[in-house]
């Protein structure tokens, strides 16, 4: 097996197609080398080696030694430098690179190859002693942190002390002798803390770094990131070893990161940041404030320091040519890292750039317009789940705002919440139900869990490409970064903004689209789904086969869903109407009644209420099918459980407290999810279903009468296991319909069908299909019953199941295709065998999950039904499934 792949100097042993093998960075370095771009030479150790390394107990095979040595020879041959050589030393970077980018999650070592001898060589070759010693101290610092695992702060402190002793404020004031002295201090720290002197042998340094980068794949923060982003542990990372080029060799050197289009709003303009005389880390880490790449951006921001376009016009022009070439080559927006070493441009990385949902939409639609991609490719370019960012409210432009300061609009969207100053508190308060704004000087990979828990992120330092900005955009969290005038005292738990003090728990609002930071909560408005969104959805609708309905019962939800493009109701849960505070008393009287007569009397009070509910839904969903499910949950859910409530409820329902307590005790179930619920209620108390059916048909007739357009009701029976259950319930519905139609003097076409929520129902679908015209897969219950896992209790242990890889994802979120999927396939096949035109849909939560939707398309369902805010997501996912 080949584990080492070389690139640069006219060689490219891999290509962009090898991302699984070489990681994203390695594959694209090879690709750039292949198309003739200036890439410093290097080699990639494949992800397969990472897997093997872990399989073999964190050891490398003997053969890797020779392969790595050959890789180093390749770099030496092209650069003319020698690794570990004292005269013209070759320095390398060692970086991780997984299949998908995991920003800041894994380790990097720069300037590797420096030691007490080579530092002198570097000084004389570069003619810059200060630079050489600065590089050496950076290397010791990074290597000690990443490879030796020593406390980062020890090194920072030593630097601060030297600066203080000399009365320096900035690193730039440090001279060669100071850096040299610091190197001495650093080496002492290493010897003291690590117990051995800092490794001087370049070979040994290299193997230390390679092991550390492979090792960082299993670091805690990488694991958390993988879990949040559904990245399997067995993908592994590659390791890239590459000749160093230096952006910190004086005023003709620079480093920067850039996007070929704006990653925040998608505008078609180069977009980036750069720093003269700096190394890449300086831009990303927010240590120095980066400057604008283009003149236009600088002028718009009113900033002083020259843009790259102005300061280095020739190199900039060359860079712009590379941007265009890369975008045309990859046919996608690129995120690029580059370095200029003494006027010579070097490309260090390119990849498809992370972008906000807004930018993703605009870029996809624009690129289709430019003829760079097809409409269908545009549909495939947008992650359906990312649309979520666009579907949520934005700040009301007419509301009053108490603006405290302005930062960079790092990740769009608005968020209000209580401020907290560390990630753990963010997580804790989020679990308590608070909306949280995480406020940090700057964020680091250790903050990931807190950023995830927060509704928004605010930082005092860092640019548009800082850790906070990149991660927030990836997560879809609003973020304002680099907000000036922010003073954070995390110990005291205070934040001061332009003289006003805020404490943990005070409410702030941030607008990541404008950079505004505001005191208090600012009201929001619903987004309008027009422009690029409408265009892309139109293209999606052209190609999808699955219809998309919604799960909704309130008029507001129904209207929202219809505005989002729902093509009917796939699940109206009628019990939600029973819980209504105005009706709960009649519901309780019905449950507490001693006989059928008493129950009917209470149901008669509910009839007009339900009828009005259904009429509203039919009006909103005019012209579209409406699936109404009859009562599902066990009756005791409607009764009080706490002692405190008994007296009050007994009085309202006009029964004695003792009677109420007795009924509560009688209705108690050990396993209510498998108890007296679903159609079992209809079997034992048919008058309940009869009342509901009557409400449906009376409402349908009334709406048809008033509007001239007949509603399309589909009556759905829950939790059916046998043909006979459905036959009995269908009789109740049919005879009620007949009676209502006779009374009203009109007929309405309707369907009766069942949910498939039990394994037995799936297995007996051929029998059950005799009695119903449609099946709707209730995959919440079907998952619960097939896995034997309680949907209400699973949260306590399912997280661990996913961490341990027992299920790849939470099976209540994304369908267990292997298992539950088989039951669906069986039911589809058997249902169609009996009734070829049977209508098939899904209404469990999975109906809004893209991976599950792809499966539904594959097995040939007719529609999926999702909650209102998931409707656009489902439309796009259905289109992608069809392509
Ligand atoms: C289901 O079980 O998947 C379903 C949609 O019904 P509910 O969630 O109401 O039990
Ligand atoms: Mg159910």
Domain ranges of the chain: 4-243, 254-355, 393-525, 531-570+610-631+679-882
Q: At which residue do the structure tokens 């400057």 appear?
A: 291
Q: Which CATH architecture has domain 4-243?
A: 2-Layer Sandwich (3.30)
Instruction: Flag whether 757 is marked binding.
Output: yes
Among the bound ligands, the one closest to the CA of 575: 1
Q: Cα separation of 5 and 351, whole Å? A: 19
What distance in angstroms lies between residue 54's CA and the mean position of ligand 1's atoms?
Answer: 42
Q: From the alpha carbon of 780, which atom of ligand 1 is closest?
A: 3
Q: Cα separation of 444 and 461, whole Å? A: 12
Which of 444-463 are b and which e, b meaning 16 or more Cβ less than 10 Å from the residue's Cβ? bbebbbbbbbbbbbbbbbbb
Residue 656 pairs in a beta bridge with none
End-to-end CA distance of the chain: 35
Asked if residue 249 lies in contact with residue 126, where contact means CB atoms within 8 angstroms, the answer is: yes
Which of 571, 758, 791, when mutated, tests ligand 1's pocket best, judged by the most ligand atoms within 8 Å of its CB? Answer: 571
CATH number of 254-355: 3.30.470.20
Q: From the alpha carbon of 844, which atom of ligand 1 is closest?
A: 3
Instruction: Flag whether 779 is marked binding.
Output: yes
Which of 832-857 are b and which e, b meaning 16 or more Cβ less than 10 Å from the residue's Cβ? beebeebbbbbbbbbbbbbbbbbbbb
Among the bound ligands, the one closest to the CA of 783: 1
By DSSP bridging, strand 479-481 and strand 456-459 are parallel
Identify the three-state secondary structure at position 571.
strand
Going by C-alpha positions, the residue among 621, 547, 568, 391 that lies closest to residue 877 is 547
- Rounded to the nearest 10°, the torsion over CA 483, 487, 493, 499 is -100
Which of 757, 762, 787, 842, when mutated, tests ligand 1's pocket best, judged by the most ligand atoms within 8 Å of its CB? Answer: 757
Q: Cα separation of 275 and 307, whole Å? A: 9
Say what the pTM is.
Answer: 0.79
Both tokens assigned to 570 = 């796939």
Other Cβ atoms less than 10 A from the Cβ of 787: the count is 17
Asked if residue 716 lies in contact with residue 757, where contact means CB atoms within 8 angstroms, the answer is: no
* Average pLDDT, rounded, for the chain: 93
Q: From the alpha carbon of 757, which atom of ligand 1 is closest?
A: 2
What is the maximal distance between C-alpha atoms in the chain? 103
Q: From the alpha carbon of 718, which atom of ligand 1 is closest?
A: 6
Atom 1 of ligand 1, nearest CA residue = 778
Asked if residue 322 lies in contact with residue 225, where contact means CB atoms within 8 angstroms, the answer is: no
Asked if residue 550 lies in contact with residue 561, where contact means CB atoms within 8 angstroms, the answer is: yes
Best CATH choice for the domain 531-570+610-631+679-882 from the list 3.40.1280.10, 3.40.190.10, 3.40.50.1820, 3.20.20.60: 3.20.20.60
Both tokens assigned to 206 = 């290299």
Asked if residue 478 lies in contact with residue 457, where contact means CB atoms within 8 angstroms, the answer is: yes
By DSSP bridging, strand 524-525 and strand 547-551 are unpaired
Atom 6 of ligand 1, nearest CA residue = 778
Both tokens assigned to 593 = 């009644």
Phi, psi for residue 283 in degrees, rounded to 5: -75, -50
By DSSP bridging, strand 863-866 and strand 547-551 are parallel
What distance in angstroms lies between residue 544's CA and the mean position of ligand 2's atoms?
Answer: 27
Q: What is the pLDDT of residue 284?
A: 61
Both tokens assigned to 870 = 């998931």
Phi, psi for residue 322 in degrees, rounded to 5: -65, -40
Q: Cα separation of 417 and 531, whole Å? A: 30
Asked if residue 54 lies in contact with residue 30, where contact means CB atoms within 8 angstroms, the answer is: no
> What is the rounded radius of gyration, in angstroms, for the C-alpha atoms of the chain?
32
Both tokens assigned to 219 = 């670091």
Which of 509-533 are b and which e, b meaning 16 or more Cβ less than 10 Å from the residue's Cβ? bbbbbbbbbbbeebebeeeebeebb
Atom 9 of ligand 1, nearest CA residue = 573
The residue from 178, 452, 467, 846 that is catalytic is: 467
The residue from 558, 572, 843, 856 that is catalytic is: 843
Which of 718, 790, 861, 863, when mutated, tests ligand 1's pocket best, judged by the most ligand atoms within 8 Å of its CB? Answer: 718
What distance in angstroms lies between residue 845's CA and the mean position of ligand 2's atoms?
Answer: 10
What distance in angstroms lies between residue 632's CA and the mean position of ligand 1's atoms?
Answer: 9
Q: What is the pLDDT of residue 511?
A: 92
Q: From the alpha carbon of 778, which atom of ligand 1 is closest?
A: 3
Going by C-alpha positions, the residue among 47, 40, 41, 42 that lies closest to residue 22 is 47
pLDDT tens digits along 477-501: 899 988 888 899 888 889 999 889 9
Which of 591-611 are b and which e, b meaning 16 or more Cβ less than 10 Å from the residue's Cβ? bbbeeeeebeebbeebbebbb
Asked if residue 865 lies in contact with residue 570, where contact means CB atoms within 8 angstroms, the answer is: yes
Which of 570, 572, 573, when mutated, tests ligand 1's pocket best, judged by the most ligand atoms within 8 Å of its CB? Answer: 573
By DSSP bridging, strand 237-243 and strand 92-98 are antiparallel
Q: Cα separation of 368 and 380, whole Å? A: 12
What distance in angstroms lies between residue 719's CA and the mean position of ligand 2's atoms?
Answer: 7
Atom 8 of ligand 1, nearest CA residue = 780
Can 572 be counted among the known catalytic residues? no
What distance in angstroms lies between residue 696's CA and the mean position of ligand 2's atoms?
Answer: 20
Instruction: Flag whether 248 is marked binding.
Output: no
From edge to edge, which strands make up the β-sheet containing 291-292? Answer: 291-292, 271-276, 254-259, 334-341, 344-352
Q: Cα separation of 54 and 46, whole Å? A: 13
Instruction: Flag whether 747 is marked binding.
Output: no
The DSSP symbol for 756 reads: E
What distance in angstroms lies between residue 672's CA and the mean position of ligand 2's atoms?
Answer: 12
Q: Please name the fold of domain 393-525.
A: Glucose Oxidase; domain 1 (3.50.30)
Instruction: Flag whether 629 is marked binding.
Output: yes
Can 843 be counted among the known catalytic residues? yes
- Rounded to the nearest 10°, the torsion over CA 343, 349, 352, 353 is -70
Q: From the alpha carbon of 776, which atom of ligand 1 is closest?
A: 5
Instruction: Flag whether 461 is marked binding.
Output: no
Other Cβ atoms less than 10 A from the Cβ of 415: the count is 26
Identify the three-state secondary structure at position 444.
coil
Both tokens assigned to 418 = 């209580």
Domains 4-243 and 531-570+610-631+679-882 are alike in CATH topology: no
Among the bound ligands, the one closest to the CA of 865: 1
Atom 4 of ligand 1, nearest CA residue = 778
Q: From the alpha carbon of 784, which atom of ligand 1 is closest?
A: 2
Q: At which residue do the structure tokens 């545009």 appear?
A: 378
Residue 551 pairs in a beta bridge with 571
Pocket of ligand 1 (CB under 6 A): 571, 573, 632, 757, 778-781, 843-844
Among the bound ligands, the one closest to the CA of 782: 1
Atom 10 of ligand 1, nearest CA residue = 781
The DSSP symbol for 512 reads: T
What distance in angstroms lies between residue 778's CA and the mean position of ligand 2's atoms?
Answer: 5
What distance in angstroms lies between residue 64's CA and the mean position of ligand 2's atoms?
Answer: 55
Q: Cα separation of 630 and 574, whole Å? A: 6
Give every residue of the chain whose pLDDT is below 70, as ranges.
283-287, 465, 474
Q: Cα separation of 444 and 285, whole Å? A: 9
Q: What is the pLDDT of residue 315?
A: 97
Phi, psi for residue 336 in degrees, rounded to 5: -125, 140
Which whole-number Å values give the CA distances from 76 to 86, 796, 858, in the listed order? Answer: 14, 55, 53
């Amino acid at each position: 097996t080949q584990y080492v792949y070389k690139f640069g100097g006219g060689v490219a042993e891999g290509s962009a197609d090898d991302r699984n093998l070489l990681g994203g960075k390695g594959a694209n370095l090879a690709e750039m080398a292949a198309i003739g771009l200036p890439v410093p030479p290097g080699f990639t150790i494949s992800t397969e080696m990472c897997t093997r390394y872990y399989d073999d107990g964190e050891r490398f095979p003997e053969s890797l030694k020779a392969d790595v040595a050959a890789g180093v020879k390749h770099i030496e041959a092209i650069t003319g430098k020698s690794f570990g050589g004292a005269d013209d030393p070759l320095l390398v970077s060692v970086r991780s690179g997984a299949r998908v980018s995991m920003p800041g999650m894994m380790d990097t070592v720069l300037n590797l190859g420096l030691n007490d001898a080579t530092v002198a060589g570097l000084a004389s070759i570069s003619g810059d002693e200060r630079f050489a010693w600065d590089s050496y101290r950076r290397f010791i610092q990074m290597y000690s942190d990443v490879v030796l695992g020593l406390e980062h702060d020890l090194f920072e402190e030593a630097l601060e002390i030297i600066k203080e002793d000399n009365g320096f404020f900035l690193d730039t004031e440090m001279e060669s002798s100071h850096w040299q002295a610091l190197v001495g201090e650093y080496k002492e720290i290493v010897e003291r803390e690590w117990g051995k002197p800092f490794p001087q042998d370049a070979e040994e340094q290299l193997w230390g770094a390679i092991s550390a980068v492979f090792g960082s794949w299993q670091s805690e923060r990488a694991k958390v990131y993988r879990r949040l982003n559904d990245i399997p542990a067995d993908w592994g990372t590659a390791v890239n070893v590459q000749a160093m080029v230096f952006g910190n060799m004086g005023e003709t050197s620079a480093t920067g990161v850039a996007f070929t289009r704006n990653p925040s709003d998608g505008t078609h303009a180069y977009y980036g940041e750069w720093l003269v005389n700096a190394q890449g880390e300086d831009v990303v880490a927010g240590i120095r404030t980066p400057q604008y790449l283009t003149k236009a951006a600088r002028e718009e921001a009113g900033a002083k320091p020259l843009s790259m376009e102005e300061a280095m016009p020739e190199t900039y022009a060359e860079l712009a040519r590379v941007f265009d070439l890369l975008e045309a080559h990859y046919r996608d927006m690129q995120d690029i890292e580059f370095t200029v070493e003494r006027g010579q441009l070097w490309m260090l990385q390119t990849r498809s750039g992370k972008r906000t949902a807004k930018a993703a939409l605009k870029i996809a639609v624009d690129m289709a317009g430019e003829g760079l991609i097809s409409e269908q490719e545009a549909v495939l370019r947008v992650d359906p789940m990312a649309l979520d960012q666009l579907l949520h409210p934005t700040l009301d432009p007419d509301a009053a705002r108490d603006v405290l300061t302005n930062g960079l609009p790092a990740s769009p969207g608005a968020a209000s919440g209580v401020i907290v100053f560390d990630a753990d508190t963010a997580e804790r308060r989020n679990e308590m139900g608070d909306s949280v704004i995480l406020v940090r000087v700057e964020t680091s990979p250790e903050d990931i869990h807190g950023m995830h828990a927060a509704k928004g992120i605010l930082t005092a330092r860092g640019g548009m490409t800082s850790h906070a900005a990149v991660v927030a955009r990836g997560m879809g969290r609003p973020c304002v970064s680099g907000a000036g005038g922010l003073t954070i005292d995390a110990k005291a738990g205070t934040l001061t903004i332009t003289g006003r003090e805020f404490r943990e728990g005070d409410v702030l609002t941030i607008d990541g689209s404008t950079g505004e930071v505001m005191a208090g909560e600012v009201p929001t408005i619903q987004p309008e789904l027009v422009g690029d969104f409408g265009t892309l959805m139109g293209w999606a609708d052209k190609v999808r086969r699955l219809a998309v309905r919604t799960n909704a019962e309130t008029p507001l939800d129904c209207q929202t869903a219809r505005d989002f493009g729902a093509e009917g109701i796939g699940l109206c849960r009628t019990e939600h109407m029973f819980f209504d505070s105005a009706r709960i008393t009649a519901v309780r009287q019905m449950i507490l009644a001693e006989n059928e007569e008493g129950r009917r009397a209470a149901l008669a009070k509910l009839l007009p209420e339900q009828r009005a509910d259904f009429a509203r839904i039919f009006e909103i969903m005019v012209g579209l099918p409406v699936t109404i499910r009859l009562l599902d949950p066990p009756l005791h859910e409607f009764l009080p459980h706490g002692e405190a409530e008994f007296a009050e409820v007994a009085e309202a329902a006009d029964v004695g407290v003792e009677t109420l307590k007795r009924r509560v005790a009688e209705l108690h179930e050990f396993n209510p999810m498998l108890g007296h619920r679903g159609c079992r209620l209809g079997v034992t108390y048919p008058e309940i279903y009869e009342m509901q059916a009557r409400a449906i048909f009376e409402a349908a007739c009334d709406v048809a009468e008033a509007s001239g357009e007949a509603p399309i009701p589909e009556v759905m029976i829950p939790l059916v296991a046998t043909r006979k259950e459905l036959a009995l319930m269908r009789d109740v519905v049919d005879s009620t319909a007949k009676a209502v139609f006779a009374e009203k003097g009109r007929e309405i076409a309707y369907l009766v069908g069942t949910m498939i929520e039990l394994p037995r129902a799936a297995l007996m679908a051929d029998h059950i299909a005799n009695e119903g015209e449609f099946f709707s897969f209730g995959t919440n219950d079907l998952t619960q019953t097939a896995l034997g896992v309680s949907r209400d209790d699973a949260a306590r242990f399912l997280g661990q199941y996913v961490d341990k890889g027992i299920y790849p994802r939470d099976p209540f979120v994304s369908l267990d295709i292997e298992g539950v999927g088989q039951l669906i396939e069986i039911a589809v096949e058997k249902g169609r065998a009996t009734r070829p035109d049977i209508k098939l849909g899904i209404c469990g939560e999975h109906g809004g999950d893209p991976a599950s939707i792809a499966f539904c398309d594959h097995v040939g369902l007719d529609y999926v039904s999702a909650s209102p805010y998931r409707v656009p997501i489902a439309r796009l996912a259905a289109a992608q499934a069809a392509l």
